[in-house]
Each structure stands twice: as C-alpha cells, then as structure tokens.
Structure 1
Amino acid sequence: MSGLPGLAGTDHIGFTVPDMEEATRFFVDVIGCDLVFSIGPFQSDDDWMQVQLGVDPRAILRCLRMFRCKNGSNFELFEFELDGASKVPPKNSDVGGNHLGFYVEDIDAAVAYLKSHGLTVQGEVVTMQEGPSKRLSWVYFLSPWGMQLELVSYQTGLQVLDEKPGALWSPRE
C-alpha cells in the first residue's frame, strides 16, 4: 500500500484574510457557514512562527477561526499582523493561488442571491458539455476582500461518476 499511513481524508483547508471580523460576517451571514471556534492572538519572540507556520518570525497571529459549511470540509481563517505583508489575494494563475468552491442545488438562484448582496460574480454560469466534468455548472465570485470563490452544481451528476462511481466526494451524499 502506498500513501500517507493512516490517511482518513481531508480535515480542513486554511486561508489568510485581511480582516477577520469582515470575513466572519461574510461567511456566516452571507454564505451561511457556522463559526465553530476562535483562538488568538499569538506571537513568539523566537523563530516558532517561522518554523511551525512558515510565516515571518515577526508575524503576529491576531486570530484563527474554524468554520463549517453544511456537509463539507472544515476551513480555517487566519488574520496576521505583519508590516509589509501582501494585502492582495493571489490570482488562480499565481503559485499558491486558490479558491473555495461551494456546491449549491440551484446555481441561478445562488448567483441572484450573491448579486443582491452586492458581490462581484465573474462572468456567467458555464455548464460543461463534454468530458469528465460534463453537466457541471460553475461560476466564480469574489468575497468583499477579493478572495476567489466558486459556485458549482451538478444536479444530474458528473460524467466521471457515471464511469467511476464514488471516485469524487460530493456534499450531496
């Protein structure tokens, strides 16, 4: 057997945000996630932050919060304080670029909801017509601070799952 011994699955993903209170309001009040816990602040006078977290040793972890969104992976948000740190989220084309995708049953209703909250929806909903992602509808949108997010929907399933049942985890299950 190959792979990480004892691997059970994905536990969480983490993102750094510029303003924890704004991010919490967005994910709880607009998206509908639950705030599970909050810790911090934390700082270290030695190189602990660099060794353990891979950040500048002078960084202050102002707050860490863990969230849960319905039937999906947990995610944590970090807010750091560090003079000179980039305040611009990476693009998907940048190394380290990322996005968080949310499955919705009615993507058109979800897009209208996001727009009613003044959020930027990037382009139009695209429905894949061929290949392994056939029947997948998707569209990107931005958080108030510019984090890339995605809505996805595949009410009639994905082509790849017709060929390989259970190959991908789905929040619908």
Structure 2
Amino acid sequence: MNVKKGVPGLRGTDHIGFTVPDIDEAHDFFVEVLGCDHVYSLGPVKPSGNWMSTHLNVNDDAVMHEIRFYRCFNGSNFEVFHYSSPDQRFLQPRNSDVGGHHLALYVDDLDVAMAYLESHGIQILGKPTHSIGASEGQRWVYFLSPWGMQFELVSYPDGKAYEQQAETLLWDPRDGSSAPSASAGPSKN
C-alpha cells in the first residue's frame, strides 16, 4: 500500500501573495497588460494589539491599505497587497537573494507574447533561452513588472524531455484541466 506523505488533504497551490508599492499600477499591469480578472478587494486592514506580528510576522503598526485578488486563466490565483509599515523595505530581491522569487506564466507562443509585452513598454531581460537536459523542449525569458518584480514567460508546446521517462509529471498548464476564467476563452486540449 502506497501511503502519501505530507500535509493530509493537500491538493495544491491556492494563491501566491506578494506586496506591491502601488496597487493601481499593479492592477493595470495584471488586468490591462496580462489579461487577468480582478475578482474582489479587501481592506483597509489594521487590527489592534499584536495581531499583525502574531499572524503575519510584520510590524504591529503595519497597515494593509488594500488587498486585491486576481484570477489569471488556469493556475494559481494572485493575492496582491498594498502595505505601509514603519520598517518597510522597497528593494526588490534578486533571484540570487534569500527570498528571491519570480512568477512564471505559460504562453502558447513565446515570440508573440514577448512582442505584445514589448508593445506595452514592458522590459524583457535578454533573448529567449532554450532549456537543456530534463527541460529540453522549453523556451523561456524573464521580464519585469512596472515596479521591478521578476516574471517569466515559458513555453513548451511539444513538452519537455523529462516527460518521456518520469513517473510523476509536473502540473502542465497546456492540458486545460482547470476551468478557465471568463476572459480566458476555451481550454486548449
């Protein structure tokens, strides 16, 4: 009998949360440039006492001015925060920094997607890279949001090399297994 390890009942990633310096700029980027759906907003949130440090590991004087939730086609949702705090830092971490991160978005045609982003004034970092080894078959390129957060476009329309021998496959956005958002159009099967 094969017993699954880990958190009982865990099904997958519900959302990815991050903080932005300007919620309206972020909203325009997610909705007007990327094409995500804004689902709902919350805030402001300013509990009393030590709630913020106890529950969120931030300064007790921090204020969440607004939280917006976005659905971006198939995959995880985004929870976007706009905070102010007396000890707030504004430097974006690089991938090499502890806590460094990026959000990768799958696209059907990398070149078309890059041209679209460039036409909207989005900074693309370098030229597309062809992956090697287990990821062969994939092309990718990084780009920056207007506030400097790192994103990635990735595409592997014919799959990746590892899939030929793997017992477990990575989640694949190409199969359309999630119900698309209203603006996503039909699933690609």
Q: What TM-score range do you get, normalising by the shorter chain? A: over 0.9
* Shift, 1:93, TM fit: 0.8
CA–CA distance in structure 2, aligned partners of residues 10 and 84 of structure 1: 29
* Shift, 1:165, TM fit: 6.1
Match of 1:9 in 2: 12
In structure 2, stretches of 5+ residues that fail to align are: 176-189
Q: Does 1:26 align with 2:29?
A: yes
Match of 2:58 in 1: 55
CA–CA distance in structure 1, aligned partners of residues 79 and 172 of structure 2: 20
AA matched with 1:170: D
Q: How many pairs are equivalent?
A: 172
Match of 1:150 in 2: 152
AA matched with 1:99: H
Match of 1:141 in 2: 143
AA matched with 2:53: Q
Correspondence 1:8-157 to 2 at 5 A: 8-128=11-131, 130-157=132-159
Task: Work out whether residues 61 and 86 of structure 2, in 8 Å CA contact, stay in contact via their aligned partners in 1.
Answer: no
SS in 2 for 1:132: helix
CA–CA distance in structure 2, aligned partners of residues 19 and 165 of structure 1: 43
SS in 2 for 1:66: strand
CA–CA distance in structure 2, aligned partners of residues 102 and 172 of structure 1: 11
TM-score when scaled to structure 2?
0.88
CA–CA distance in structure 2, aligned partners of residues 76 and 162 of structure 1: 35
1:31-74 deviation line (CA, Å, top 9, x unaligned): 00111110000112211011111111110001111111111111
Instruction: Report % sequence identity.
Output: 51
Q: Does 1:170 align with 2:177?
A: no
Runs (4 or more) in structure 1 with deviation over 3 Å come to none
TM-score when scaled to structure 1?
0.96
* Shift, 1:166, TM fit: 5.2
AA matched with 2:136: K
In structure 1, stretches of 5+ residues that fail to align are: none
* Shift, 1:29, TM fit: 0.3
Shifted more, 55-64 versus 161-170: the winner is 161-170
Task: Work out whether residues 140 and 149 of structure 1, in 8 Å CA contact, stay in contact via their aligned partners in 2.
Answer: yes
SS in 1 for 2:80: strand
CA–CA distance in structure 1, aligned partners of residues 115 and 133 of structure 2: 28
